[in-house]
């Protein structure tokens, strides 16, 4: 190959974020209308659990007895914490200026932020919300078809609508092979109507845990998949960072620095989730 002095510099190759990741398939991605929303949010859960049965003046002997009293569910508050996705770049200042570096950092964040959002959401959201709702049987990991069935049954019994299944992107081929997806949607859905998110950041593959961020990874050949009620992502605009960036340019080493960042809050209806461990085998148990 000719040396650098003989080669031509051409524009970078641009790309698009995966349309089937969390930012592409959340029920809603909204800009923060108030800066205080980026400090975290509280919201009242709705649709969390089925309605109860009641019959006015039931006939004796018809097999139905009303509860002693009609039940009332207390409406608690769900709390969601903020997090920031950041992307920093450094390059020699020879042939590069600050404007080019700033633009490159913003573009790198555009392509990379979804991975960071998914990793945070699995570590600090899914694994914690699913504590106590591990549907994996004592015998071990389920086939992916049985795993989807277990998750959707749990959701149907604990939430009044469709939800979101969160899977590491490597599980996509297994779901397709086993005909688990309805292909006629903008985002993949199961036959029960639940959206499937293929997350590159979900490859951290941690299970339910009582303490946020401390989940253990699935064994080799297995994966954790989760289900939640609908997910809403609240976000700030992508911006260039300020005080955390080194002095740019750094004339002592002839380097230019740029950093872009965006802050997010991931919110889940009912602030609950369930998890199951599945085998990555392409065939039957």
pLDDT score recorded for residue 62: 79
Which letter does DSSP use for residue 226 in this model? E
pLDDT of res. 244: 65
Ordered by start, the domain boundaries in the chain are 22-45+77-279
Q: Is 72 exposed, middle or buried (0-12, 13-18, 19+ CB in 10 A)?
A: exposed
Beta strand 239-240 with 41-43 is: unpaired
Query: What pLDDT does residue 132 have?
Result: 92
Cα gap 280→141, rounded to integer Å = 9
| Spans in the chain with pLDDT lower than 50 | none
Which pLDDT does position 243 carry in this prediction?
Answer: 66
Q: Which structure tokens are listed for 248?
A: 């740019």
Taking phi first (over 0 means left), then psi (-120 to 50 degrees means alpha), and beta for anything else, what does residue 143 get?
beta
pTM comes to 0.90
DSSP state of 269: G
């Amino acid at each position: 190959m000719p040396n650098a002095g003989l080669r031509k510099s051409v524009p970078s190759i641009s790309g698009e974020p995966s349309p089937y990741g969390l930012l592409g398939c959340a029920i809603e991605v909204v800009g923060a209308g108030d800066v205080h929303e980026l400090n975290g949010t509280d919201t009242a859960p709705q649709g969390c659990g089925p309605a109860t049965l009641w019959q006015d003046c039931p006939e004796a002997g018809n097999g139905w007895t009303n509860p002693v009293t009609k039940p009332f569910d207390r409406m608690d508050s769900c709390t969601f914490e903020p997090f920031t996705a950041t992307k920093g770049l450094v390059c020699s200042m020879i042939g590069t200026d600050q404007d080019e570096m700033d633009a490159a950092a913003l573009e790198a964040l555009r392509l990379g932020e979804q991975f960071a959002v998914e990793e945070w959401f699995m570590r600090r959201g899914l694994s914690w919300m699913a504590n106590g709702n591990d549907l994996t049987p004592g015998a071990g990991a389920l086939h992916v078809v049985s795993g989807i069935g277990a998750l959707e049954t749990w959701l149907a019994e604990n939430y009044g609508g469709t939800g979101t299944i969160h899977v590491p992107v490597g599980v996509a081929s297994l779901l397709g092979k086993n005909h688990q997806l309805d292909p006629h949607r903008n985002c993949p859905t199961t036959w029960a109507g639940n959206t499937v998110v293929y997350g590159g950041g979900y490859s951290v593959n941690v299970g339910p845990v009582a303490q946020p961020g401390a989940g253990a990874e699935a064994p080799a050949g297995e994966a954790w998949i989760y289900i939640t009620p609908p997910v809403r992502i609240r976000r700030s605009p992508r911006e260039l960072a300020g005080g955390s960036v080194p002095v740019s340019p750094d004339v002592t080493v002839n380097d230019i620095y740029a950093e872009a960042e965006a802050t997010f809050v991931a919110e889940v209806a009912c602030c609950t989730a369930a998890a199951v461990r599945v085998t990555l085998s392409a065939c039957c148990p």
